[in-house]
Amino acid sequence: MTGDPLAGVRVLDLTRLLPGGVLSALLADLGADVVKVEEPTAGDYMRWGEPRIGPESAASWIVGRGKRSVALDLKSPAGVSAFLRLAATVDVVIEGFRPGVVDRLGVGYDAVRAVNPRVVYASLTGYGSDGPLRDVAGHDLNYTAYAGVLGITGTRSGEVAIPGVQVGDLGGGTILGMGILAALVHAARTGAGSRVEVSMYDAALAWTSIHAGAFFASGAATGPGSMPLNGLLPCYNVYRCSDGRYLSVGALEPAFWAAFCGTLGRADLVDRASDPTAVDEVAVALAGRPRDDWVAEFAGVDACVAPVLDLGEALDHPLARARGMVQEGQVAHGSDATARTLGTPIRIDGVVRPIGSPPPALGEHTREVLVAAGLADTEVDGLIASGVAVDRAAPR
């Protein structure tokens, strides 16, 4: 495959913050034309944060790349009318409001389907569009709490820890992306659109699959450090070294564990891979040297041992650049300045995909997108004059 696999796919993105932003950024990375539809005054809340890279927040700079921005007030009838004109021309609409909000605004699935029967209308919700918590506000921490993810994350002493990345947010966005692609294939085959929904709670719960299976089999609810893959076993654990940094050991298979024990100088532990009491013995052994000494010791040993890198080390590691996961990106349109950014993890035919254009200013593409959808310049002038739309076209 050459070129952009989603070239020609047009997306309207009504989402704000991380989950929808990451989802639509992946679609843009694959060649889709993604237009963010934002509230004219403040836009996506991701724009507000610090630190900044060029004119945008660092977070927005990464998840907003490759997109265009239309600033449109959907609380205004004229704004809703303009949005539906846009929606009639696209393949996908993505929204991330609480259930019922888009219907009250007049931009829900039924309204969009009336002007575009082939549309894929995708909703990313917190707890789902039905069920006892449909109207409850939440964030990733809450979704993972209800899903049991927090309850199995933490230390061997039983203390619960917050995961370092947003499991429900990112899982929900990624799984919804799969649903969108499936619905696009269906639309191409049948000419019929679909409504696709993923809740971030559902996504987080779905990712407990191994642990849920164990519970269904045994009926035993377990906590941090009490299961094979969350700290119970010596062969799959994290150990503190003498310099206060950590080493991960993932030697689940017998051959890997034997190689690990041999290199550690503890061949007597080979038969104790499943013995929780051996965790402390391995910990004592690894605590005797700095992390990077152990990394050098295990270099070339097939034992599934890796250093626990802090984020700075991870982003500076040769592996990240070799895989195209750290690239240089243009800071802003019309600027010669560049800065490091994350690449996309998706490769097709082995090709590392270059990152897209820098993130748009709020309302940077309002006029060009609305005119391309069939609105006359005079109509756009009226929307701008009334404050329903904002145009901040940047010089190119």
Report the relative pairing of strands 236-240 and 246-250 from DSSP bridges.
antiparallel
Q: Which residue has the tokens 């696999």?
A: 5
Which of 297, 312, 309, 314 has its CA nearest to residue 245? 309
Is 73 catalytic? The answer is no
| 3-class DSSP state of 247 | strand
Tokens of 240: 């503190």
Cα dihedral angle (98, 99, 103, 109), rounded to 10 degrees? Answer: 110
Q: How many beta carbons lie within 10 A of that of residue 28, not counting itself?
A: 27
State phi, psi for 104 to the nearest 5 degrees. Answer: -65, -30
Q: Are 13 and 67 in contact (CB under 8 A)?
A: yes
Which of 128, 149, 333, 119 has its CA nearest to residue 110? 119
Catalytic-labelled residue, pool 13, 91, 140, 169: 169
Q: Are 304 and 233 in contact (CB under 8 A)?
A: no
**3-state SS track over 73-114:** CCCCHHHHHHHHHHHCCCCEEEECCCCCHHHHHCCCHHHHHH
Cα 126 to Cα 147: distance, rounded to the nearest angstrom? 12
Is 169 catalytic? The answer is yes
Catalytic-labelled residue, pool 4, 139, 186, 333: 139
Q: Which residue has the tokens 């992946």?
A: 26
| 3-class DSSP state of 57 | strand
Report the relative pairing of strands 338-342 and 326-330 from DSSP bridges.
antiparallel
Which of 97, 94, 60, 92 has its CA nearest to residue 75? 97
Active site residues: 139, 169
